[in-house]
Structures are given as structure tokens and as C-alpha cells.
Structure 1
Amino acid sequence: MDSDDLGLFGPGSVTWKVHEEPILIVAGLRSLYLQALHPRAMAGVAQNSSYQTDAWGRLVRTAGYVATTIYGTTAEAEAAGRRLRTLHARLRARDPFTGEEFRIDDPELLRWVHVTEVESFVSTARRAGLALTDDEVDGYYTEQRRAAALVGLDPADVPSTAAEVDDYYRRIRRDLRMTREAAETALFLTVPPIPWKLNLPVKLGLHLGPPRWAYLGIAGTALGLLPAWARRLYGGLGLPTTALSADLSVRALRLALAALPRRYREGPLQQAAKERAARLTPAA
């Protein structure tokens, strides 16, 4: 029965430990900045997505998918994976340099999105102050092979340790570059439309209310958390001081988020998963 199912990971997993952190909102943004540096991946998004006209809707759907794979039952996670694979199988895009048509579910593209996402999650959580041993980091990557399988990847072809992720990044960097679409996407990620009710209009027709300034701080932190080589591709300096400033910012933000009431820090899927876990493992 689903009510007796703890999902793909469950309590005691490194995955639950990492995704307990609200700071992963910054990690999600960091992963998008990284993903935009892959020309084909960026073309696939730009040619098949409504992200510029429905940015917040797309964000909610993506967050919902991740939450389902982490905290949903096994059946819910597998159903979400099937829906995503069915969607991707229908989509095509054209290479911005060669004009060649390619499939969105190309394993190379799926692997790039998966690796940038999980690396952003675990590295951001760690830099924000979550205590994780090297073995736990490797354990997280290994566990996340289950999530990779949901999108159609062969788990054996997905990095399962921090060393393998570093090697993957070294190998793929030759394929990454700053394109016009990447620059436009980065600008959009940094200054997205904010729902009008959250803004305080000021002169010159700009919306620079507190939500806008708060978001700019989060976006700046996400950019600062990028690897030095990625910051250089964006035209920034890969200086240690940049990383240090980002580390201080993300630690402060984690402390602020930890002070929020639980109902604001945990979504319904996470709360339901914890209730199932408590019922099934009372000793824990």
C-alpha cells in the first residue's frame, strides 16, 4: 500500500538530509545558471519552453517534480518520471551552431541537467553549513542515480561520487560556452518578473520593492556559488574572494530560513513523507 511506502529514499538517506534544507532554493537557481552554459541544453529549453512567459509556473512545476521524486511514494515518483519521459520523447530542437535537429531526451543532455542539479543541491547545502562527510556526499550522488533513472538515464552512466562529478565537469567544459541565449537566460534568471502584488512601484516605472531586492541578493549568491570556471564563462572573475563572499551570504541565508515556522519551510509532500515515516518507524 502507498501509505506504507517510504519512496525511493526515505528517512536515514543522505537525500532526505540534504533536501531538508530550505537553502536549496538557492541551489536550484545555481543549477539553472550552470545549465544555461550548455548550448544544446539551452536551445532545447528556449525552443520548447514558456519559461519567459510563465517563469513562476515552470518553477512551481519543476519544484513539484523534485519534491515528488524525493518525498513521494515509489508509485508517485515512478508516475512522475513516466510523465516526464513521455513529454521529453515528443520534443525536438535545433543546434544553434549546426542547425542539426536533436532530441530533448538525448542522454548527454539529460546527464548534464541531472549532474548540474544534484551537484548544486549537495554543494550548496554543504557550503551553507550542513555537516556532510565526504562519504555522505558520495552517498548522495549514488542515491540520486535512482532519480536519474526516472528521467530515462542508465544509472551506470551517471556519476556516483564527487570525484566522478569533478571528472565529468572537466570533460564537458570543452562543450560549454556563453551564447546569446545563455546570456539572455542568465539576465532573465537574475531579474525575472515579480508578481505585481509583491512589488512597490517607484518612479521611472521600475519595480524595486523589498521582494525584488531580496531576490537580487539570492541571485547574486547563486552566481557566486558557481565553480570558478563557470563564473569566468559568465564574464566574472573566478577569485577566491568571490566564493568566500558567496559562502558567507549562503550561511546567513540558511540561518534566516531556519527561523521560519515549519509550515513555511516544508511542503505538503515533505510533511506527508515524514508522517508516513513516523508511523512506520516509531522508534526513530
Structure 2
Amino acid sequence: MAIALKQGKAVEPHEDHGFFGPDSVTWKVWSYPTSLTVGFQRAVVIEELDPALVAAVETTNDVRYRPRTRYDRTLRYFAMVAFGDTRSTSKAADVLVRIHSKAIGTDPVTGIRYDANDPDSQLWIHLTAWHSILKAYEMFGPGKLSAADEAQYWRECKIAAELQTCDQADIPTSREELHAYYEKMRPQLLGSKIATDMMAHLLDARVMLPPVPKVLTPASWAVGRLLRAATISTMPRWMREMGGCRQSRLVDIAVRPIMRVAFWSAQVHPRIELALLGYLSPATVPVVAPILLGIEPSNPETLTPAQARERYGYQRPREAHLEFRARQAERVFGNGGRPSDEGLLESQEILGPVS
């Protein structure tokens, strides 16, 4: 049964509990308002330190010239992985492989070829996202998880990785393994001008927000500065230095109680949190609303990604659309042309319009 929000829009129940469900740590952490705000902003900012990834982002120019659209679509996808039903999320994961087949080329800084479907690139995106969501929850939400909950969180992170081209053997099972991964990645990361410019762009929350009346411009500026300060405060010093994100320890300390109170106030009632989410990312509201409002799915079951692939007829992302990806590669590397937009256009039904 659908439930109406105040705006009159009906919230439809999901088909099932998705890949995690109400007893998961994923729902506990990702449903707190820190996740799709500071957590998400942190993830997309530090991702840019990967030269292959930033080259792919720079080539499409979506983040720079259509930031709000890109933000809305990307946030919707991350929310689907955490909260969406297995049918629609499996479809989204499958079409994402086709979208990423467009993000291929040669990095002008390092001279290496990049491919958004590359397992190493996908691993970097996946881990920075899951760690950033947890980090924001710890710093500006209820605090650190228990040892048992954190262990479960990383097990669930591994489940979510099955929806991408990552190698399961590479997924950390603990915070220590995650830190070891970052240390392994450090020599490969690069604070190039392209990366630092993009990070500065993404740290300005106003590029993600809808236009506001002139009278609210000062408030919008203040919110943007707070989110920027909060996001930078979650980053280790070496990442800040590499990305040119300067901020004093005094600001790090001062922003924490302000944001903790703000996020606590936002989660007092789910409709407040949904109103905030609707302002930030309208496309994400239908995915998150059934969970925040406690609307039971049509079929209260959870599936593994493997069970979902078998039920709905999808291949593992790593093995999906190989012929299509090969054609895209031939267009770019063989013929020196531009890749097809087929996957991007197909995704509009699932992730929302591209413009």
C-alpha cells in the first residue's frame, strides 16, 4: 500500500528488502542523514585522487557542467545498492556497466589508458564510498560501531561489491585491511591540477544544490561552507595535502558539534530527513522513503547478488556486455572516435534524466 508524503507524492513499497534488510548494519549507517550528505561528498571528493578516475570524469565533463544531474543520478544509484529492491538494483548495476563503457580513453597526465569498468578503478570507488559513509556516521552521527557491527559492515561491503566489477578477494574485511589498501594506493594517487581543481569544485556544495531566491543566498553559502568544512575534517592530512584541501585543526574541532546537532535534528522525524533529501536529490527519495517510513515491501525477503542474477537473468558485472565494451574500445582506441551514448541513454529510465 502506498503512503503519501506531505507534498502529495505517494511512496510505493519496494518489491523486497533488497540485498541487506532491516537487520543490517548497512541500513543502520546509511539511513542516518550523515551518509548521503557529508559521507557522499567525501567519497566523490577523494575519488578524484585516482588519476584514471579523474581522467574519465574530466572527459565526460558531467561533474563540471551538469553537477546537479550527475549528483542526483549517482546518489540514487548508491541508495539503490543500500536500500533498493533486488530487481531494480540488479538492473541498475547491469546498465551501469554499459554506462561505464563510455568512460574510456588515455589519461593526458600519466599517459595510461583508463576504463571505468576496470576492477581496480571500481574497487577504489566502492571502498572510498563505503568508508566515507562510515566515517561521516562516526564523526557526525551516533559514533563508532561496536566491534561486531563493524565486522558485519565490512561483510556487507563485500556483498555490495558483487554489483560492480571488483574482485571479491580484494575487498577488505576490517578497518586495518582498509588502511593497508590506502597505503598500497598512495603511490598511485596524484594531486594533479585536474584532480585538485575537481576536488575544489566538488567541495563547493552549492554546485550540487538547486538555485535559491536571492534572500536565501547567504544561508546557502553558510550551509555550503559548513558541509565543506565537515567533509575536509574527515580526511587524513596526507589526502588533504595531496588534494590541496587546507583547513586548520581549529575548524576541524569547531565544525563537529555544529554538524552533530544539525544531523541529530534532521533525523528526529523521517519526514524531516526526507524533506532534506528531496532538496538535495529528488531522484533518491523514492528509494529511501520506504525504509525511513517503515513501509514493508511486497515480499519481505533478501537475496544475495548471485541469487538475484540467477532470478532476473543478469551476468556478473565483470563478465557483462563484453561485446558492447569491445565495440566501444574499438571506436575510441582503434578509430580515434567517441564512444556511443547507448548505455547512458538506457539508464535514464532507472537513474533519471541525464540533462
The two structures share one fold, judged by TM-score above 0.5: yes
CA drift of 1:155 comes to: 2.1
Q: For 1:11-30, list aligned pairs within 5 A.
A: 11-24=22-35, 25-30=37-42
1:165 aligned onto 2:165: no
Quickly say closer, same or farther: Cα 1:264–1:54, change in 2 above 3 A: farther
Identity of aligned pairs, percent? 23
Give the length in aligned residue pairs: 274
Q: Show structure 1 runs of 4+ deviating over 6 A.
A: none
TM-score by length of 1: 0.86
Q: For 1:77-156, list aligned pairs within 5 A.
A: 77-131=89-143, 132-156=145-169
CA drift of 1:195 comes to: 6.2
Quickly say closer, same or farther: Cα 1:100–1:280, change in 2 above 3 A: closer
CA drift of 1:5 comes to: 2.2
CA drift of 1:199 comes to: 4.4
AA partner of residue 271 (structure 2): R
1:188 to 201, 221, 234: 201
1:268 aligned onto 2:277: no
SS in 2 for 1:37: coil
Deviates further, 240-249 or 214-223:
240-249
Q: What's the C-alpha RMSD, in Å, of the aligned pairs? A: 2.6
Deviates further, 116-125 or 269-278:
269-278
Deviations 1:77-129 (A, max 9, x none): 11110011121134303223332322121111111111111000011101123
Quickly say closer, same or farther: Cα 1:208–1:107, change in 2 above 3 A: same
Quickly say closer, same or farther: Cα 1:55–1:76, change in 2 above 3 A: same
Equivalent-residue separation in structure 2 for 1:196 and 1:111 (angstroms):
31
SS in 2 for 1:93: strand
Task: Report the counterpart of residue 214 of structure 2 in structure 1.
Answer: 200
Task: Report the counterpart of residue 204 of structure 1 in structure 2.
Answer: none
Task: Report the counterpart of residue 318 of structure 2 in structure 1.
Answer: none
Equivalent-residue separation in structure 1 for 2:253 and 2:119 (angstroms):
35
Deviations 1:5-28 (A, max 9, x none): 211000110000001101111111
Alpha carbons 1:27, 1:124 under 8 Å: kept: yes
Equivalent-residue separation in structure 2 for 1:187 and 1:240 (angstroms):
19
Quickly say closer, same or farther: Cα 1:160–1:246, change in 2 above 3 A: farther
Alpha carbons 2:59, 2:103 under 8 Å: kept: no
Alpha carbons 1:224, 1:245 under 8 Å: kept: no
Equivalent-residue separation in structure 2 for 1:53 and 1:103 (angstroms):
21
Task: Report the counterpart of residue 234 of structure 1 in structure 2.
Answer: 243
AA partner of residue 86 (structure 1): R
Alpha carbons 2:34, 2:141 under 8 Å: kept: no
Quickly say closer, same or farther: Cα 1:73–1:197, change in 2 above 3 A: closer
Quickly say closer, same or farther: Cα 1:115–1:196, change in 2 above 3 A: closer
AA partner of residue 195 (structure 2): A
SS in 2 for 1:130: coil
Equivalent-residue separation in structure 1 for 2:88 and 2:75 (angstroms):
15
Task: Report the counterpart of residue 221 of structure 1 in structure 2.
Answer: 230
Task: Report the counterpart of residue 73 of structure 1 in structure 2.
Answer: 85
Equivalent-residue separation in structure 1 for 2:210 and 2:273 (angstroms):
24
Alpha carbons 2:17, 2:297 under 8 Å: kept: yes
Deviates further, 234-243 or 47-56:
234-243
CA drift of 1:187 comes to: 2.1
Deviations 1:160-186 (A, max 9, x none): 221111110111111122111112112
Quickly say closer, same or farther: Cα 1:228–1:22, change in 2 above 3 A: same
With a CA cutoff of 8 Å and minimum separation of 6, indicate the structure with the bigger relative contact order. Answer: 2
Quickly say closer, same or farther: Cα 1:194–1:118, change in 2 above 3 A: closer
Equivalent-residue separation in structure 2 for 1:160 and 1:239 (angstroms):
33
CA drift of 1:246 comes to: 4.3
CA drift of 1:270 comes to: 2.5
CA drift of 1:64 comes to: 0.9
